[in-house]
Amino acid sequence: EPEVTQTPSHQVTQMGQEVILRCVPISNHLYFYWYRQILGQKVEFLVSFYNNEISEKSEIFDDQFSVERPDGSNFTLKIRSTKLEDSAMYFCASSGIGQSYFGPGTRLTVL
Amino acid sequence: ELKVEQNPLFLSMQEGKNYTIYCNYSTTSDRLYWYRQDPGKSLESLFVLLSNGAVKQEGRLMASLDTKARLSTLHITAAVHDLSATYFCAVDIYTGTASKLTFGTGTRLQVTL
Protein backbone atom coordinates (compact mmCIF):
# COMPACT_ATOMS: atom_id res chain seq x y z
CA GLU A 1 0.00 0.00 0.00
CA PRO A 2 1.41 3.42 -0.94
CA GLU A 3 2.45 5.59 1.96
CA VAL A 4 3.89 8.99 2.73
CA THR A 5 7.50 8.86 3.87
CA GLN A 6 9.51 11.47 5.75
CA THR A 7 13.18 12.00 6.49
CA PRO A 8 14.84 12.35 8.86
CA SER A 9 12.82 10.80 11.65
CA HIS A 10 14.59 13.00 14.18
CA GLN A 11 16.52 16.23 13.63
CA VAL A 12 18.45 18.06 16.31
CA THR A 13 19.65 21.56 15.52
CA GLN A 14 20.97 24.67 17.20
CA MET A 15 18.83 27.77 17.46
CA GLY A 16 19.32 30.00 14.45
CA GLN A 17 20.28 27.18 12.10
CA GLU A 18 18.39 26.28 8.96
CA VAL A 19 16.68 22.91 8.66
CA ILE A 20 15.04 21.15 5.75
CA LEU A 21 12.49 18.46 6.39
CA ARG A 22 11.79 16.10 3.54
CA CYS A 23 8.71 14.22 2.48
CA VAL A 24 7.83 11.89 -0.37
CA PRO A 25 4.07 12.06 -0.88
CA ILE A 26 1.98 9.29 -2.39
CA SER A 27 2.81 9.31 -6.07
CA ASN A 28 -0.56 10.10 -7.68
CA HIS A 29 -1.60 12.69 -5.10
CA LEU A 30 -1.86 16.33 -6.09
CA TYR A 31 -2.25 18.10 -2.75
CA PHE A 32 0.48 18.31 -0.16
CA TYR A 33 0.47 19.58 3.37
CA TRP A 34 2.59 20.22 6.42
CA TYR A 35 1.20 20.04 9.92
CA ARG A 36 2.99 20.31 13.23
CA GLN A 37 2.35 19.04 16.72
CA ILE A 38 4.07 20.52 19.73
CA LEU A 39 4.60 17.84 22.35
CA GLY A 40 1.38 17.00 24.14
CA GLN A 41 -0.72 19.39 22.08
CA LYS A 42 -3.04 19.16 19.14
CA VAL A 43 -2.03 18.94 15.50
CA GLU A 44 -1.93 22.31 13.73
CA PHE A 45 -2.16 23.07 10.02
CA LEU A 46 0.84 24.91 8.58
CA VAL A 47 0.46 25.02 4.81
CA SER A 48 -1.14 23.39 1.79
CA PHE A 49 0.47 23.17 -1.64
CA TYR A 50 -1.12 22.50 -5.01
CA ASN A 51 0.00 22.96 -8.58
CA ASN A 52 3.42 24.12 -7.46
CA GLU A 53 2.22 26.90 -5.27
CA ILE A 54 0.96 27.51 -1.76
CA SER A 55 -2.84 27.23 -1.56
CA GLU A 56 -3.23 28.32 2.02
CA LYS A 57 -1.02 28.97 5.01
CA SER A 58 -1.67 29.49 8.67
CA GLU A 59 -0.50 32.27 10.95
CA ILE A 60 2.28 29.96 12.15
CA PHE A 61 3.72 29.78 8.64
CA ASP A 62 5.62 33.06 8.70
CA ASP A 63 8.57 34.27 6.63
CA GLN A 64 10.89 31.80 8.34
CA PHE A 65 9.08 28.92 6.66
CA SER A 66 9.05 27.90 3.02
CA VAL A 67 7.95 24.87 1.04
CA GLU A 68 9.14 23.48 -2.23
CA ARG A 69 8.58 20.58 -4.55
CA PRO A 70 12.02 20.51 -6.11
CA ASP A 71 11.87 17.46 -8.34
CA GLY A 72 8.35 16.11 -8.78
CA SER A 73 8.61 13.55 -6.00
CA ASN A 74 9.95 15.30 -2.91
CA PHE A 75 8.14 17.95 -0.91
CA THR A 76 10.23 19.94 1.54
CA LEU A 77 9.68 22.28 4.46
CA LYS A 78 12.49 24.69 5.21
CA ILE A 79 12.84 26.67 8.40
CA ARG A 80 15.42 29.38 7.82
CA SER A 81 16.42 30.33 11.33
CA THR A 82 15.06 27.93 13.91
CA LYS A 83 13.75 29.07 17.27
CA LEU A 84 13.29 27.06 20.44
CA GLU A 85 9.53 27.17 19.93
CA ASP A 86 9.89 25.41 16.56
CA SER A 87 10.60 22.20 18.46
CA ALA A 88 7.75 19.91 17.49
CA MET A 89 6.76 16.90 15.42
CA TYR A 90 6.25 17.88 11.80
CA PHE A 91 3.90 15.77 9.73
CA CYS A 92 3.71 15.77 5.98
CA ALA A 93 0.43 14.69 4.37
CA SER A 94 -0.84 14.22 0.85
CA SER A 95 -4.23 13.73 -0.71
CA GLY A 96 -6.00 13.17 -3.97
CA ILE A 97 -9.68 14.11 -3.96
CA GLY A 98 -10.28 12.27 -0.73
CA GLN A 99 -8.75 12.05 2.67
CA SER A 100 -5.26 13.10 3.63
CA TYR A 101 -2.66 10.47 4.42
CA PHE A 102 -0.05 11.35 6.99
CA GLY A 103 3.62 10.46 7.07
CA PRO A 104 5.37 9.14 10.18
CA GLY A 105 6.64 12.59 11.14
CA THR A 106 9.96 14.26 11.81
CA ARG A 107 10.71 15.19 15.38
CA LEU A 108 12.57 18.51 15.36
CA THR A 109 14.47 19.46 18.48
CA VAL A 110 15.93 22.98 18.63
CA LEU A 111 18.57 23.50 21.31
CA GLU B 1 -12.35 31.01 12.87
CA LEU B 2 -13.24 27.33 13.07
CA LYS B 3 -13.07 25.90 16.56
CA VAL B 4 -13.04 22.18 17.25
CA GLU B 5 -13.48 21.04 20.82
CA GLN B 6 -13.26 17.58 22.24
CA ASN B 7 -14.25 16.28 25.60
CA PRO B 8 -13.13 14.80 27.74
CA LEU B 9 -9.45 15.64 27.38
CA PHE B 10 -8.45 12.64 29.42
CA LEU B 11 -10.37 9.47 30.00
CA SER B 12 -9.37 6.61 32.23
CA MET B 13 -11.65 3.62 31.94
CA GLN B 14 -11.63 0.01 32.93
CA GLU B 15 -11.58 -2.81 30.47
CA GLY B 16 -15.05 -3.91 29.51
CA LYS B 17 -16.69 -0.51 30.02
CA ASN B 18 -18.35 1.72 27.44
CA TYR B 19 -17.73 5.39 26.92
CA THR B 20 -18.23 8.19 24.39
CA ILE B 21 -15.89 10.94 23.25
CA TYR B 22 -17.51 14.10 21.93
CA CYS B 23 -16.33 16.45 19.20
CA ASN B 24 -18.05 19.80 18.68
CA TYR B 25 -17.19 22.16 15.86
CA SER B 26 -18.24 25.69 15.11
CA THR B 27 -18.88 25.91 11.34
CA THR B 28 -20.22 23.84 8.48
CA SER B 29 -17.80 21.15 7.41
CA ASP B 30 -17.26 19.01 4.33
CA ARG B 31 -15.94 15.98 6.18
CA LEU B 32 -15.08 14.89 9.68
CA TYR B 33 -12.32 12.46 10.55
CA TRP B 34 -11.32 10.50 13.59
CA TYR B 35 -7.66 9.66 14.07
CA ARG B 36 -5.78 7.56 16.54
CA GLN B 37 -2.28 8.48 17.70
CA ASP B 38 -0.01 6.28 19.78
CA PRO B 39 2.74 8.03 21.76
CA GLY B 40 5.46 9.34 19.46
CA LYS B 41 3.72 7.99 16.39
CA SER B 42 1.84 9.34 13.41
CA LEU B 43 -1.89 9.73 12.88
CA GLU B 44 -3.83 6.64 11.93
CA SER B 45 -7.10 7.34 10.16
CA LEU B 46 -10.02 5.54 11.81
CA PHE B 47 -13.16 6.97 10.22
CA VAL B 48 -14.27 9.44 7.58
CA LEU B 49 -17.77 10.81 8.06
CA LEU B 50 -19.25 12.56 5.07
CA SER B 51 -22.88 13.34 5.71
CA ASN B 52 -25.47 14.00 8.35
CA GLY B 53 -26.45 10.86 10.19
CA ALA B 54 -23.38 8.95 9.01
CA VAL B 55 -22.42 6.09 11.30
CA LYS B 56 -19.36 3.92 10.89
CA GLN B 57 -18.15 1.03 12.98
CA GLU B 58 -14.89 -0.83 13.19
CA GLY B 59 -14.45 -3.36 15.94
CA ARG B 60 -15.16 -1.75 19.30
CA LEU B 61 -15.27 1.78 17.90
CA MET B 62 -18.27 3.49 16.37
CA ALA B 63 -18.34 7.04 15.04
CA SER B 64 -21.35 9.15 14.17
CA LEU B 65 -21.98 12.59 12.76
CA ASP B 66 -24.79 15.09 13.34
CA THR B 67 -24.10 18.03 11.04
CA LYS B 68 -27.06 20.01 12.32
CA ALA B 69 -25.75 19.89 15.87
CA ARG B 70 -22.16 20.12 14.59
CA LEU B 71 -21.34 17.16 16.75
CA SER B 72 -19.52 13.91 16.21
CA THR B 73 -19.15 11.11 18.70
CA LEU B 74 -16.72 8.23 19.03
CA HIS B 75 -18.24 5.45 21.06
CA ILE B 76 -16.10 2.78 22.64
CA THR B 77 -17.75 -0.52 23.45
CA ALA B 78 -16.27 -2.96 25.96
CA ALA B 79 -12.88 -1.24 26.02
CA VAL B 80 -9.68 -3.26 25.88
CA HIS B 81 -6.17 -2.20 26.83
CA ASP B 82 -5.07 -2.03 23.18
CA LEU B 83 -7.39 0.93 22.64
CA SER B 84 -5.22 3.10 24.90
CA ALA B 85 -4.10 6.02 22.72
CA THR B 86 -4.96 9.63 21.98
CA TYR B 87 -7.95 10.16 19.72
CA PHE B 88 -8.39 13.27 17.63
CA CYS B 89 -11.31 14.45 15.61
CA ALA B 90 -10.52 16.71 12.66
CA VAL B 91 -12.84 18.86 10.60
CA ASP B 92 -12.07 19.20 6.91
CA ILE B 93 -12.85 22.43 5.14
CA TYR B 94 -12.26 22.42 1.41
CA THR B 95 -10.80 25.81 0.54
CA GLY B 96 -11.24 25.59 -3.21
CA THR B 97 -7.73 24.40 -3.96
CA ALA B 98 -6.99 22.03 -1.09
CA SER B 99 -8.49 20.73 2.09
CA LYS B 100 -7.44 21.95 5.49
CA LEU B 101 -7.84 19.89 8.61
CA THR B 102 -8.56 21.59 11.89
CA PHE B 103 -7.93 19.21 14.74
CA GLY B 104 -9.59 18.95 18.08
CA THR B 105 -7.64 19.06 21.30
CA GLY B 106 -7.46 15.28 21.51
CA THR B 107 -8.73 12.80 24.09
CA ARG B 108 -6.13 10.71 25.83
CA LEU B 109 -7.71 7.36 26.55
CA GLN B 110 -6.20 5.06 29.12
CA VAL B 111 -7.79 1.64 29.50
CA THR B 112 -6.83 -0.08 32.69
CA LEU B 113 -6.82 -3.79 33.27
A53-69 pLDDT, tens digit each: 999 999 999 999 999 99
Counting residues of chain B whose pLDDT is more than 70, the rounded percentage is: 99
Residue A99 has pLDDT above 90, yes or no: no
Q: How confident is the model at residue B85 (pLDDT cuts 50, 70, 90)?
A: very high
What backbone phi and psi angles, to 5 degrees, belong to A85? -75, -5
Would you call B62 an interface residue with chain A, using a CB distance cutoff of 8 Å?
no
Residue B23 has pLDDT above 80, yes or no: yes
Contact B62, B74 (CB under 8 A): yes
Q: How far is CA A19 from the centre of its chain?
A: 11
Chain B residues whose CB is inside 8 A of the A38 CB are none
Contact A61, A46 (CB under 8 A): yes
B80–chain A nearest CA distance, Å:
23
Q: Give the pLDDT of residue A64.
A: 95
Q: How confident is the model at residue B113 (pLDDT cuts 50, 70, 90)?
A: confident
Counting residues of chain A whose pLDDT is more than 90, the rounded percentage is: 82
Partners of A107 in the β-ladder: A10, A89
Q: How confident is the model at residue B6 (pLDDT cuts 50, 70, 90)?
A: very high
B15–chain A nearest CA distance, Å:
24
Q: Give the pLDDT of residue B102.
A: 94
Residue B94 has pLDDT above 80, yes or no: no
- Region of A36 on the Ramachandran plot (φ > 0 left; ψ -120 to 50 alpha; else beta): beta
Quickly count: other Cβ atoms within 10 Å of residue B28's Cβ: 10
Contact A103 B48 (CB under 8 A): no
Q: What CA–CA distance (Å, rounded) separates A60 from A53? A: 18
